[in-house]
Amino acid sequence: MIRTYQRDDKQSVLDLVRATKNFSDDEVAIAEELIDICVDQPDQKDYYAYVNILDGRVAGFLLLGPTPATTGTYDMYWIAVHPDFQGQGIAQALDTFAVAFVRERNGYLIIAETSSQPSYERTRGFYTKQDYQLMSRIPDYYKPGDDLMVFGKRV
């Protein structure tokens, strides 16, 4: 079941993000900042957070929002699944939810950024499987040898 993120989900979402072992402490802090905005500023229109609940636990997390200065592009800031639940279609369900979310708002493009590091190979494979196209690659973006890979999907 996918539902809107609630304040009580915070620790579970942060634990999920850490459990993936793909994100640095700085990146976890960014996730925390964005989910706090979602609950502390309920009238804001920049970030929307959702969780996928399975067996009473937060199994997946999605955070997306409209890209500033565009008329129909949305950034998928976070899509992550707890390792205990990977391979069960949760990320696919979250992506399907994101597509419906964007379409309902007359959006037409979802952008997802990720790393070129080997630990993100599964993530890149997921985007490709979900019909995202590699739209750009910026060498050494995150650090030397760690490129920014920008995937996009028209919806």
For residue 97, name the pLDDT band (cuts at 50, 70, 90).
very high
Nearest to 76 by CA among 47, 53, 103: 47
Query: Which residue type does 17 have?
Result: V
Q: Is the pLDDT of residue 86 over 90?
A: yes
Both structure tokens of 90: 């949760």
Nearest to 129 by CA among 84, 73, 72, 87: 87
For residue 33, name the pLDDT band (cuts at 50, 70, 90).
very high
Contact 50, 93 (CB under 8 A): no
Each residue of 34-84: pLDDT tens digit?
Answer: 999 999 999 999 999 999 999 999 999 999 999 999 999 999 999 999 999
pLDDT of residue 68: 95
Give the HSE-up count for residue 112: Cα atoms under 13 Å, Cβ half-sphere: 28
**Strands 133-143 and 109-115, sheet pairing:** unpaired
Task: Read off φ and ψ for residue 137, nearest 5 degrees.
Answer: -140, 125
Q: Is the pLDDT of residue 5 over 90?
A: yes
Average pLDDT rounded to a whole number, residues 141-154: 97
For residue 22, name the pLDDT band (cuts at 50, 70, 90).
confident
Measured CA distances, 107 to 66, 99, 110 (Å) = 8, 9, 8
Each residue of 107-137: pLDDT tens digit?
Answer: 999 999 999 999 899 999 999 999 999 999 9
**Overall size of the chain counted in residues:** 155
We report the CATH number of the domain holding residue 7 as 3.40.630.30
Number of domains the chain contains? 1
pLDDT of residue 65: 97
Residue 149 domain boundaries: 2-154
pLDDT of residue 23: 86
pLDDT of residue 66: 98
Other residues' Cβ atoms within 10 Å of the Cβ of residue 124: 18
Q: Is the pTM of this model over 0.85?
A: yes
Report H helices in the chain.
10-19, 25-40, 90-104, 121-129
